[in-house]
A = this chain, B = another copy of it.
Amino acid sequence: MWTVKEVGLGVVAVALSLELIVLLVRRLKPRRTLNEVLFFPTETVCVEHIFTSSSSDTCLCSLAHGVESSFTRLLRHILSASSSLDLCIFAFSNMDLSRAVCMLHRRGVTIRVIVDKDYVAISCSQIGVLRKAGICVRCSVDSVFMHHKFSVVDGRLLITGSLNWTLSAVQGNMENILVTEEPDLVKPFIKEFHKLWAHNDPARHHRSSDQNPAHFTARA
């Protein structure tokens, strides 16, 4: 026969075990990290509601409304920035993406842009628009292509892939974008951006050029 004492001991043991198990489950269960892949070309849909946060049916343009596409997902990820956006891009001519970056700048988000020097002045380049808005842009100083296409939102979210920020890339080419919060992937890109930002500082370049123009290379 079980005594009251024995039953009580059993209940306490089970209760303690359950408590411990719940604690362990909470501690060990991997938190869901955002990982998303977007493919292009994307169908051309109205993105007005993403900028105005109004209902999509208030816009009278002829494009499809209220439709999520790879491009609307990309815009939403960029516009999720609340403190910083670091962008390193080969070509930037997409007006919607430029509008998103300017909107973030007006909201007080710190924007830093590195762009390939040969693509700054091409027709449709949005770099002039960004600079006019007061956004800090640095051009690559080396003779090689600055071929990256990545951005980091709030030091937390990495957006990278094959897609340049152009209209033909979004609406024409077969492209991919990978969006991730995985720290092992985000951190190296943050470090690389810092390195590139310092390396492409025009003041530093000017001094280096004066001293020894032949030895101004991308990496040691």
Contacts and interface: CB of A to CB of B under 8 A. Distances in A.
A140 B174 contact: yes
Given A35-B182, A188-B39, A192-B39, A176 B150 contact: yes
Contact of A13 (B17, B37, B144, B182): B17
Contacts of A10: 9, 13
B175 A147 contact: yes
Interface in A48-82: none
Contacts of A140: 174
A92 interface: no
B160 A148 contact: no
Nearest to A150: B176
B174 A144 contact: yes
A36 B43 CA distance: 32
Interface residues of A, number: 53
A143 to B, nearest CB: 9
Nearest to A12: B13
Contact of A182 (B182, B196, B219): B182
Stoichiometry, copies per complex? 2
Interface string A139-173: 01010111111100000000011110000110011
Contact of A144 (B41, B180, B185): B41
Contacts of A13: 9-10, 13-14, 17
Contact of A147 (B144, B169, B182, B188): B169
Nearest to A158: B178
A149 B140 CA distance: 23
Nearest to A26: B28
Contacts of A24: 21, 24-25, 28
